[in-house]
Amino acid sequence: FFLSPKLENETKGKLQKQICRVVLDHFEKQYTAELGNAWSSVRDVLTDPLCWQHSVLLNRFSPCPELESRLCVQGYHPAFQGALPYLPAALKCYLRRTPGRFPAPKHQAGRLKECYLLNAASLLPVLALQVKDGEKVLDLCAAPGGKSVAILQCACPGRFHCNEFDDLRARWLEETIESFIPQPLINSITVSKLDGRHIGDLKPELYDKVLVDTPCSNDRSWLFSSDIHQATLRLIQRKELSSLQFQLLRSAVKALRPGGCLVYSTCTLSRAENSDVINLALSSCSDLVPVDISAMGRAVSQEFTFLAGLQQHELLVLPERGRAWGPMYVAKLKKI
């Protein structure tokens, strides 16, 4: 979309007023220490929604050549053109450098939606997982369902278990699956509302691949908290999130068969919720080893900016202008 300079300034002013100072001050201290000079440019993107970008994931179960043509006319181009280690031909995602949001498809009874709008960095955990046809796959914290839909664009698992503990989010997940996946395939998908911390004990060593897109302190949304009391409470509870994340990760390890792989992801920059959780898992789980995903990072470096200095089994997407994707942390582990 395009705004007149006057309207853009007015809109930007309104958005700036909505930024929660308590959260921003907290982030300033934490991320200046953790990211150094990179935080300044990341902060500028996170606090300016007018520069945010959205990608368009096409639904292979509802092909629409006219949609692809329309995207190209509007300046979108196919994502992931590098030599990726894993890129199924059926996975088609379009993005563009300029800000703006492509119109979201509306629900039509009896018809599948043709595309799903998402942050392009959200596809990196799916690409890292490398799901193949026939595998048993668990999406441990699946709502709202974007990554579940993306997995099904890549392959047809022999068994696909999508779990979401929160009732409201679980309904959202079910609606997403129903809107994008045809009935015959839906019949092979299990949607549950289990506490993810217990799935490993309930279904030990059952899955070939597990995605742990864990609940986290979502940096983008938290910055625009309208309730200061709620924002302050969130920041206090933030210290407890890493414990929950580790418990979910440990449960995923138990649910994973020997030789299987898992991907852990968050949409926060926080080291405590990212590298620290993975390091704790590697040091406390003798049956886990890191998996190098640096080749994937190099292959998509034209589209994403990554934090330097991380280990080869992890990536952290840093939003910047023109490439305002992320934050998205991705780490891959294998059970031996």
Number of neighbouring beta carbons within 10 Å of residue 285: 15
CB-based contact 94:81 (threshold 8 Å): no
Strands in the chain per DSSP E: 55-58, 77-78, 93-95, 115-118, 136-139, 159-163, 189-192, 207-213, 256-266, 288-290, 314-317, 328-335
Q: How far is CA 55 from the centre of its chain?
A: 12
Q: Is 147 annotated as a binding residue?
A: yes
Q: Is 82 annotated as a binding residue?
A: no
- Beta bridge pairs of residue 213: 265
| Residue 260 among known ligand-binding residues | no
Q: Please, is 243 exposed, middle or buried when counting C-beta atoms within 10 Å of its C-beta (0-12, 13-18, 19+)?
A: exposed
Tell me: is residue 208 an annotated ligand-binding position.
no
Given a contact cutoff of 8 angstroms between Cβ atoms, the answer to whether 138 and 210 are in contact is yes
**272 annotated as ligand-binding:** no
DSSP 50: G
CA atoms within 13 A on the CB side of 292: 4
141 is in an annotated binding site: yes
* Active-site entry in 93, 162, 267, 285: 267
Residue 139 tokens, joined: 């999406």
- Which one-letter DSSP state was computed for residue 37? T
Residues 6+ apart with CB under 8 A from 34: 269, 270, 271
The CA–CA distances, whole Å, from 101 to 56, 76, 77, 165 equal: 9, 11, 15, 30
Tokens of 214: 């864990």
Question: The tokens of 192 are what?
Answer: 């549950």
- 144 preceded by a cis bond (ω within 30 of 0): yes
Q: Is 267 a catalytic residue?
A: yes
**Catalytic positions, please?**
267
List binding-site positions for S-adenosyl-L-methionine. Answer: 141-147, 164, 195, 213
List binding-site positions. Answer: 141-147, 164, 195, 213
